[in-house]
Chain A
Protein backbone atom coordinates (compact mmCIF):
# COMPACT_ATOMS: atom_id res chain seq x y z
CA UNK A 1 0.00 0.00 0.00
CA UNK A 2 2.78 2.41 1.04
CA UNK A 3 4.79 1.40 -2.00
CA UNK A 4 1.82 2.11 -4.25
CA UNK A 5 1.30 5.51 -2.64
CA UNK A 6 5.00 6.37 -3.04
CA UNK A 7 4.84 5.38 -6.71
CA UNK A 8 1.84 7.64 -7.24
CA UNK A 9 3.63 10.50 -5.48
CA UNK A 10 6.73 10.06 -7.66
CA UNK A 11 4.58 9.96 -10.80
CA UNK A 12 2.66 13.09 -9.81
CA UNK A 13 5.95 14.80 -9.00
CA UNK A 14 7.34 13.96 -12.43
CA UNK A 15 4.20 15.19 -14.20
CA UNK A 16 4.26 18.41 -12.15
CA UNK A 17 7.94 18.92 -12.97
CA UNK A 18 7.29 18.38 -16.67
CA UNK A 19 4.37 20.83 -16.63
CA UNK A 20 6.43 23.43 -14.75
CA UNK A 21 9.26 23.11 -17.27
CA UNK A 22 6.78 23.57 -20.09
CA UNK A 23 5.17 26.58 -18.42
CA UNK A 24 8.56 28.27 -18.04
CA UNK A 25 9.51 27.75 -21.69
CA UNK A 26 9.06 30.93 -23.73
CA UNK A 27 6.46 30.66 -26.47
CA UNK A 28 6.56 32.22 -29.94
CA UNK A 29 3.57 32.34 -32.27
CA UNK A 30 3.71 31.57 -35.97
CA UNK A 31 0.83 31.41 -38.46
CA UNK A 32 0.47 29.80 -41.85
CA UNK A 33 -1.92 31.63 -44.16
CA UNK A 34 -2.09 31.17 -47.94
CA UNK A 35 0.97 28.90 -47.65
CA UNK A 36 3.11 31.69 -46.17
CA UNK A 37 4.62 31.82 -42.67
CA UNK A 38 3.80 34.95 -40.68
CA UNK A 39 6.08 36.31 -39.33
CA UNK A 40 8.82 34.90 -41.51
CA UNK A 41 11.54 36.00 -39.05
CA UNK A 42 11.50 35.13 -35.40
CA UNK A 43 14.16 36.22 -32.94
CA UNK A 44 14.75 33.89 -30.02
CA UNK A 45 17.30 33.92 -27.18
CA UNK A 46 20.44 31.80 -27.44
CA UNK A 47 21.01 28.69 -25.32
CA UNK A 48 17.39 28.43 -24.26
CA UNK A 49 14.70 25.95 -25.13
CA UNK A 50 11.69 27.74 -26.65
CA UNK A 51 8.25 26.73 -27.84
CA UNK A 52 6.96 27.53 -31.33
CA UNK A 53 3.19 27.51 -31.56
CA UNK A 54 2.20 27.24 -35.20
CA UNK A 55 -1.37 27.90 -36.29
CA UNK A 56 -2.22 26.58 -39.72
CA UNK A 57 -5.03 28.82 -40.99
CA UNK A 58 -5.15 27.16 -44.42
CA UNK A 59 -7.61 24.47 -45.46
CA UNK A 60 -4.82 22.00 -46.25
CA UNK A 61 -2.12 20.49 -44.08
CA UNK A 62 1.42 21.84 -44.04
CA UNK A 63 4.63 20.39 -42.72
CA UNK A 64 7.01 22.57 -40.76
CA UNK A 65 10.44 21.41 -41.83
CA UNK A 66 13.92 22.53 -40.90
CA UNK A 67 17.14 20.66 -41.57
CA UNK A 68 19.09 23.21 -39.53
CA UNK A 69 16.86 22.70 -36.51
CA UNK A 70 16.33 18.98 -37.16
CA UNK A 71 12.58 19.43 -36.90
CA UNK A 72 9.72 18.05 -39.02
CA UNK A 73 6.09 18.27 -37.98
CA UNK A 74 2.81 18.04 -39.87
CA UNK A 75 0.31 20.77 -38.99
CA UNK A 76 -3.17 19.81 -40.06
CA UNK A 77 -5.69 22.18 -41.66
CA UNK A 78 -7.03 24.82 -39.26
CA UNK A 79 -5.18 23.33 -36.29
CA UNK A 80 -2.32 24.32 -34.02
CA UNK A 81 0.89 22.47 -33.30
CA UNK A 82 3.69 23.02 -30.83
CA UNK A 83 7.35 22.42 -31.54
CA UNK A 84 10.15 22.75 -29.01
CA UNK A 85 13.47 24.01 -30.32
CA UNK A 86 16.83 24.69 -28.75
CA UNK A 87 18.93 25.35 -26.80
CA UNK A 88 20.65 26.85 -29.84
CA UNK A 89 23.88 28.71 -30.45
CA UNK A 90 23.58 32.22 -31.98
CA UNK A 91 22.98 32.13 -35.72
CA UNK A 92 20.30 31.83 -38.38
CA UNK A 93 18.23 28.68 -38.78
CA UNK A 94 15.97 28.47 -41.81
CA UNK A 95 12.71 26.60 -42.01
CA UNK A 96 10.14 25.93 -44.73
CA UNK A 97 6.81 24.32 -45.46
CA UNK A 98 7.53 20.89 -46.96
CA UNK A 99 4.35 20.93 -49.03
CA UNK A 100 4.80 24.51 -50.32
CA UNK A 101 8.56 25.06 -50.19
CA UNK A 102 8.53 28.00 -52.61
CA UNK A 103 6.13 30.26 -50.70
CA UNK A 104 6.34 28.96 -47.14
CA UNK A 105 9.80 29.97 -45.94
CA UNK A 106 11.18 31.61 -42.84
CA UNK A 107 14.15 31.98 -40.57
CA UNK A 108 14.74 31.79 -36.86
CA UNK A 109 17.37 34.20 -35.66
CA UNK A 110 19.07 33.17 -32.46
CA UNK A 111 20.64 36.13 -30.67
CA UNK A 112 22.95 36.06 -27.68
CA UNK A 113 21.60 39.36 -26.31
CA UNK A 114 18.05 39.12 -27.50
CA UNK A 115 15.52 41.57 -26.02
CA UNK A 116 13.01 38.72 -25.80
CA UNK A 117 14.69 37.67 -22.53
Chain B
Protein backbone atom coordinates (compact mmCIF):
# COMPACT_ATOMS: atom_id res chain seq x y z
CA UNK B 1 0.00 0.00 0.00
CA UNK B 2 2.94 2.29 0.72
CA UNK B 3 4.35 1.81 -2.77
CA UNK B 4 0.87 2.18 -4.25
CA UNK B 5 0.41 5.53 -2.52
CA UNK B 6 3.78 6.72 -3.80
CA UNK B 7 2.92 5.58 -7.34
CA UNK B 8 -0.41 7.40 -7.23
CA UNK B 9 1.42 10.49 -6.02
CA UNK B 10 3.76 10.24 -9.02
CA UNK B 11 0.85 9.62 -11.39
CA UNK B 12 -1.56 12.31 -10.20
CA UNK B 13 0.42 14.99 -8.37
CA UNK B 14 3.93 14.99 -9.88
CA UNK B 15 2.63 16.50 -13.19
CA UNK B 16 1.25 19.47 -11.19
CA UNK B 17 4.63 20.02 -9.56
CA UNK B 18 6.35 19.81 -12.96
CA UNK B 19 3.90 22.30 -14.49
CA UNK B 20 4.52 24.81 -11.69
CA UNK B 21 8.28 24.29 -12.02
CA UNK B 22 8.22 25.20 -15.73
CA UNK B 23 6.08 28.30 -15.07
CA UNK B 24 8.42 29.41 -12.28
CA UNK B 25 11.63 28.60 -14.17
CA UNK B 26 11.04 30.45 -17.44
CA UNK B 27 7.50 30.40 -18.86
CA UNK B 28 6.19 33.25 -16.68
CA UNK B 29 8.08 33.54 -13.35
CA UNK B 30 6.15 36.59 -12.03
CA UNK B 31 2.90 34.57 -12.11
CA UNK B 32 3.83 32.42 -9.13
CA UNK B 33 3.91 35.02 -6.38
CA UNK B 34 2.40 34.54 -2.93
CA UNK B 35 -0.94 36.07 -3.91
CA UNK B 36 -1.57 33.97 -7.04
CA UNK B 37 -0.28 30.81 -5.35
CA UNK B 38 -2.67 31.33 -2.42
CA UNK B 39 -5.59 32.24 -4.66
CA UNK B 40 -4.80 29.36 -7.00
CA UNK B 41 -4.61 26.88 -4.13
CA UNK B 42 -7.96 28.05 -2.75
CA UNK B 43 -9.77 28.01 -6.10
CA UNK B 44 -8.24 24.63 -7.01
CA UNK B 45 -9.17 23.09 -3.68
CA UNK B 46 -12.76 24.32 -3.93
CA UNK B 47 -13.12 23.02 -7.49
CA UNK B 48 -11.42 19.70 -6.63
CA UNK B 49 -13.96 19.17 -3.83
CA UNK B 50 -16.84 20.06 -6.15
CA UNK B 51 -15.62 17.72 -8.90
CA UNK B 52 -14.96 14.97 -6.37
CA UNK B 53 -18.46 15.41 -4.96
CA UNK B 54 -20.19 15.11 -8.31
CA UNK B 55 -17.83 12.54 -9.87
CA UNK B 56 -19.99 9.49 -9.11
CA UNK B 57 -23.07 11.06 -10.70
CA UNK B 58 -21.18 12.57 -13.63
CA UNK B 59 -19.56 9.19 -14.37
CA UNK B 60 -23.01 7.71 -15.12
CA UNK B 61 -23.99 10.51 -17.51
CA UNK B 62 -23.71 10.23 -21.31
CA UNK B 63 -23.99 6.45 -21.21
CA UNK B 64 -21.16 6.12 -18.69
CA UNK B 65 -18.79 8.46 -20.52
CA UNK B 66 -19.56 11.59 -18.50
CA UNK B 67 -16.46 11.76 -16.33
CA UNK B 68 -14.06 10.95 -19.18
CA UNK B 69 -15.63 13.58 -21.43
CA UNK B 70 -15.60 16.18 -18.65
CA UNK B 71 -11.98 15.49 -17.73
CA UNK B 72 -10.84 15.37 -21.37
CA UNK B 73 -12.60 18.71 -22.03
CA UNK B 74 -10.90 20.26 -19.01
CA UNK B 75 -7.50 18.94 -20.11
CA UNK B 76 -8.02 20.28 -23.64
CA UNK B 77 -9.03 23.68 -22.27
CA UNK B 78 -6.05 23.61 -19.95
CA UNK B 79 -3.71 22.81 -22.85
CA UNK B 80 -5.15 25.65 -24.97
CA UNK B 81 -4.89 28.13 -22.07
CA UNK B 82 -1.29 27.13 -21.36
CA UNK B 83 -0.28 27.37 -25.04
CA UNK B 84 -1.95 30.77 -25.50
CA UNK B 85 -0.49 31.98 -22.20
CA UNK B 86 3.02 30.89 -23.24
CA UNK B 87 2.74 32.56 -26.64
CA UNK B 88 1.45 35.77 -25.04
CA UNK B 89 4.31 35.70 -22.54
CA UNK B 90 6.83 35.49 -25.40
CA UNK B 91 5.11 38.50 -27.00
CA UNK B 92 5.58 40.49 -23.75
CA UNK B 93 1.81 40.57 -23.10
CA UNK B 94 2.40 39.65 -19.48
CA UNK B 95 -0.95 40.52 -17.88
CA UNK B 96 -2.99 38.59 -20.43
CA UNK B 97 -0.47 35.73 -20.37
CA UNK B 98 -0.82 35.47 -16.60
CA UNK B 99 -4.60 35.07 -16.85
CA UNK B 100 -4.43 32.32 -19.45
CA UNK B 101 -1.67 30.47 -17.59
CA UNK B 102 -3.58 30.78 -14.31
CA UNK B 103 -6.70 29.22 -15.86
CA UNK B 104 -4.61 26.47 -17.45
CA UNK B 105 -2.92 25.61 -14.15
CA UNK B 106 -6.23 25.57 -12.24
CA UNK B 107 -7.95 23.29 -14.77
CA UNK B 108 -5.04 20.86 -14.83
CA UNK B 109 -4.73 20.84 -11.03
CA UNK B 110 -8.46 20.19 -10.61
CA UNK B 111 -8.44 17.20 -12.97
CA UNK B 112 -5.36 15.61 -11.39
CA UNK B 113 -6.27 16.57 -7.82
CA UNK B 114 -9.79 15.12 -8.02
CA UNK B 115 -8.39 11.81 -9.32
CA UNK B 116 -6.03 11.70 -6.35
CA UNK B 117 -8.82 12.56 -3.93
CA UNK B 118 -10.84 9.50 -5.04
CA UNK B 119 -7.94 7.31 -4.00
CA UNK B 120 -7.38 9.25 -0.80
CA UNK B 121 -11.05 8.89 0.15
CA UNK B 122 -10.87 5.09 -0.30
CA UNK B 123 -7.89 4.79 2.02
CA UNK B 124 -9.28 7.18 4.61
CA UNK B 125 -12.15 4.73 5.06
CA UNK B 126 -9.68 1.99 5.99
CA UNK B 127 -8.57 3.10 9.45
CA UNK B 128 -6.02 0.25 9.72
CA UNK B 129 -4.23 1.59 6.64
CA UNK B 130 -4.11 5.19 7.78
CA UNK B 131 -0.55 5.08 9.12
CA UNK B 132 0.74 3.48 5.90
CA UNK B 133 -1.14 5.96 3.75
CA UNK B 134 0.15 8.95 5.73
CA UNK B 135 3.69 7.57 5.40
CA UNK B 136 3.09 7.10 1.66
CA UNK B 137 1.87 10.68 1.36
CA UNK B 138 4.95 11.92 3.21
CA UNK B 139 7.28 9.89 0.99
CA UNK B 140 5.37 10.76 -2.20
CA UNK B 141 5.27 14.44 -1.28
CA UNK B 142 8.98 14.45 -0.49
CA UNK B 143 9.79 12.80 -3.84
CA UNK B 144 7.67 15.37 -5.70
CA UNK B 145 9.25 18.30 -3.82
CA UNK B 146 12.84 17.13 -4.24
CA UNK B 147 12.22 16.22 -7.89
CA UNK B 148 10.76 19.69 -8.47
CA UNK B 149 13.76 21.36 -6.83
CA UNK B 150 16.24 19.49 -9.05
CA UNK B 151 14.05 19.99 -12.11
CA UNK B 152 13.75 23.72 -11.39
CA UNK B 153 17.51 24.07 -11.01
CA UNK B 154 18.18 22.21 -14.28
CA UNK B 155 15.56 24.21 -16.16
CA UNK B 156 16.86 27.53 -14.90
CA UNK B 157 20.48 26.68 -15.62
CA UNK B 158 19.60 25.22 -19.02
CA UNK B 159 17.46 28.23 -19.96
CA UNK B 160 20.27 30.62 -19.07
CA UNK B 161 22.75 28.66 -21.19
CA UNK B 162 22.96 27.57 -24.82
CA UNK B 163 20.46 24.84 -24.01
CA UNK B 164 17.56 27.33 -23.99
CA UNK B 165 15.88 25.90 -27.16
CA UNK B 166 16.05 22.43 -25.63
CA UNK B 167 14.40 23.63 -22.41
CA UNK B 168 11.65 25.30 -24.44
CA UNK B 169 11.21 22.09 -26.46
CA UNK B 170 10.81 20.10 -23.19
CA UNK B 171 8.04 22.51 -22.15
CA UNK B 172 6.17 21.88 -25.42
CA UNK B 173 6.71 18.12 -25.03
CA UNK B 174 5.29 18.33 -21.51
CA UNK B 175 2.19 20.14 -22.83
CA UNK B 176 1.86 17.64 -25.69
CA UNK B 177 2.01 14.78 -23.19
CA UNK B 178 -0.67 16.49 -21.13
CA UNK B 179 -2.95 16.66 -24.18
CA UNK B 180 -2.01 13.28 -25.66
CA UNK B 181 -3.34 11.41 -22.69
CA UNK B 182 -6.94 12.37 -23.41
CA UNK B 183 -6.95 9.69 -26.13
CA UNK B 184 -7.08 6.58 -23.91
CA UNK B 185 -9.92 7.78 -21.63
CA UNK B 186 -11.98 8.78 -24.65
CA UNK B 187 -11.25 5.45 -26.36
CA UNK B 188 -12.26 3.45 -23.31
CA UNK B 189 -15.75 5.00 -23.36
CA UNK B 190 -16.03 4.56 -27.16
CA UNK B 191 -15.95 8.26 -27.99
CA UNK B 192 -12.82 7.66 -30.07
CA UNK B 193 -11.59 4.57 -31.86
CA UNK B 194 -7.94 3.68 -31.51
CA UNK B 195 -5.96 1.09 -33.41
CA UNK B 196 -3.44 -1.28 -31.88
CA UNK B 197 -0.10 0.06 -30.63
CA UNK B 198 2.28 1.43 -33.27
CA UNK B 199 5.31 0.20 -31.27
CA UNK B 200 6.05 -1.41 -27.96
CA UNK B 201 8.89 -0.22 -25.71
CA UNK B 202 7.75 -2.08 -22.59
CA UNK B 203 11.01 -4.05 -22.64
CA UNK B 204 12.88 -0.75 -22.15
CA UNK B 205 10.65 1.20 -19.77
CA UNK B 206 7.31 -0.16 -18.66
CA UNK B 207 4.46 2.31 -18.08
CA UNK B 208 3.90 0.85 -14.61
CA UNK B 209 7.50 1.36 -13.44
CA UNK B 210 8.63 4.42 -11.48
CA UNK B 211 10.65 5.61 -14.49
CA UNK B 212 7.58 5.10 -16.67
CA UNK B 213 5.49 7.31 -14.38
CA UNK B 214 8.16 10.01 -14.23
CA UNK B 215 8.69 10.01 -18.00
CA UNK B 216 4.93 10.09 -18.50
CA UNK B 217 4.71 13.13 -16.25
CA UNK B 218 7.68 14.82 -17.96
CA UNK B 219 7.06 14.21 -21.67
CA UNK B 220 3.89 12.09 -21.86
CA UNK B 221 5.79 8.80 -22.34
CA UNK B 222 3.67 5.93 -23.62
CA UNK B 223 5.23 2.49 -24.12
CA UNK B 224 2.46 1.31 -26.46
CA UNK B 225 1.18 4.41 -28.25
CA UNK B 226 -1.72 4.25 -30.68
CA UNK B 227 -1.64 6.08 -33.98
CA UNK B 228 -4.26 8.55 -32.69
CA UNK B 229 -2.01 9.34 -29.70
CA UNK B 230 1.01 9.92 -31.96
CA UNK B 231 -0.97 12.20 -34.28
CA UNK B 232 -2.35 14.28 -31.44
CA UNK B 233 1.03 14.41 -29.69
CA UNK B 234 2.81 15.55 -32.87
CA UNK B 235 0.17 18.20 -33.59
CA UNK B 236 0.30 19.39 -29.98
CA UNK B 237 4.04 20.02 -30.37
CA UNK B 238 4.14 21.32 -33.93
CA UNK B 239 1.17 23.72 -33.89
CA UNK B 240 2.39 25.89 -30.98
CA UNK B 241 5.98 25.75 -32.28
CA UNK B 242 4.69 26.93 -35.66
CA UNK B 243 2.67 29.70 -34.02
CA UNK B 244 5.70 30.79 -32.02
CA UNK B 245 7.81 30.88 -35.16
CA UNK B 246 5.13 32.90 -36.95
CA UNK B 247 4.85 35.39 -34.10
CA UNK B 248 8.64 35.79 -34.08
CA UNK B 249 8.71 36.29 -37.84
CA UNK B 250 5.94 38.88 -37.69
CA UNK B 251 7.71 40.64 -34.79
CA UNK B 252 10.97 40.63 -36.77
CA UNK B 253 9.10 41.89 -39.83
CA UNK B 254 7.54 44.74 -37.80
CA UNK B 255 10.95 45.68 -36.37
CA UNK B 256 12.49 45.62 -39.83
CA UNK B 257 9.74 47.91 -41.15
CA UNK B 258 10.31 50.30 -38.26
CA UNK B 259 14.05 50.26 -38.92
CA UNK B 260 13.58 50.96 -42.62
CA UNK B 261 11.14 53.78 -41.90
CA UNK B 262 13.35 55.17 -39.14
CA UNK B 263 14.42 58.78 -39.25
CA UNK B 264 17.61 59.58 -37.29
CA UNK B 265 15.93 62.20 -35.04
CA UNK B 266 13.13 59.81 -33.95
CA UNK B 267 13.59 57.18 -31.24
CA UNK B 268 13.14 53.58 -32.37
For chain B, the count of residues having a C-beta within 8 Å of the partner chain is 32
Interface string of A23-54 (1 = CB under 8 A from B): 00100000000000000000000000100000
CA distance A76 to B189 in the complex (A): 16
Stretch at the interface among B26-34, B58-66, B95-103, B154-162: B58-66
How many Å from the CB of A47 to the closest CB on chain B? 9
B56 partner residues in chain A, CB cutoff 8 A: 61, 76-77, 79
How many residue pairs bridge A and B at CB < 8 Å? 72
Query: B128 within 8 Å of A by Cβ?
Result: no
Tell whether, in the assembled complex, residue A74 and residue B125 are in contact, meaning their CB atoms are under 8 Å apart.
no
Tell whether, in the assembled complex, residue B188 and residue A61 are in contact, meaning their CB atoms are under 8 Å apart.
no
Interface size class of A (residues with CB under 8 A): 20 to 34
Query: B224 within 8 Å of A by Cβ?
Result: yes
Tell whether, in the assembled complex, residue A63 and residue B189 are in contact, meaning their CB atoms are under 8 Å apart.
no
A21 partner residues in chain B, CB cutoff 8 A: 190
Q: List 22 A-B contacts (CB under 8 A).
A: A49-B190, A60-B122, A61-B56, A61-B122, A70-B184, A70-B224, A70-B226, A72-B185, A74-B118, A79-B60, A80-B60, A80-B64, A82-B189, A83-B189, A84-B188, A84-B189, A88-B196, A98-B4, A99-B4, A99-B119, A99-B123, A101-B4
B positions within 8 Å CB-CB of A: 4, 8, 55-56, 59-60, 63-64, 67-68, 115, 118-119, 121-123, 125-126, 184-185, 187-190, 193, 196, 206-208, 223-224, 226
